[in-house]
Amino acid sequence: MAKSTWDKLKWDDGKVLRSDLSRFLLDGNSSLPYIRDVIDAGAKGLSDKDVVVFTKGDTCLANETIEEIKKAMSRVAACYCIRREIRAELKSPLSDINIKTGLMYKKNPADLFAFTVQWWNKNRKNFPSMVLGRERWDTVITTLIDESGMWPDTVIKDIVYHEMHDAFWCEPDIKVKLVGNRVNYDLAVVFFKKRGLSHEKFGFK
């Protein structure tokens, strides 16, 4: 259902195929793409002023998503939205008003990121080689966005929602064993230390 909410929006769907990527991290039976590679592939051929919107496969988007991104991007070159969690099973897209009834936890991850190609080209080298499908990378990229803009102008509210579900990579007895989690965690700790920030503040223990 998530994709049906994207398809209603009038934007170019820049699909990135696995064949567009040259490297993956092997993690058990999974081969995980590197986020920087995915964004590079999606931004290929675009102008500096074009805007890249990057979201996760199971997130639904509000009807006003494009308008809200445009508002934010009139003030900053990069922004993000923290998702609303929906407890009930989603059988159809929510109205924009009903999205606000979703739960907003303090530690909810950001699930949508938007930035100009110029911003990405300037900042990509500061984003570590983290992988999709595992934890922590969203905390790093939101920090990178905040430090390059003017928080809270970098934050968009209530355009992303998500049906709550368990994620196997977050289970305590599994998460520490996953190669992708360990890679992302180690890179995140270094990222925050370079900035003089305590990684524990961001939930890294």
Cα–Cα dist 191/127, whole Å: 8
Q: Where are the domains of the chain?
A: 2-202
Asked if 105 contacts 80 with a C-beta cutoff of 8 angstroms, the reply is no
pTM as predicted: 0.87
52's tokens: 């890249």
pLDDT digit string, tens, across residues 48-93? 999 999 998 888 888 899 999 999 999 999 999 988 877 666 666 6
pLDDT digit string, tens, across residues 15-42? 889 999 999 999 989 999 999 999 999 9
Asked if 62 contacts 159 with a C-beta cutoff of 8 angstroms, the reply is yes
Cα–Cα dist 25/2, whole Å: 26
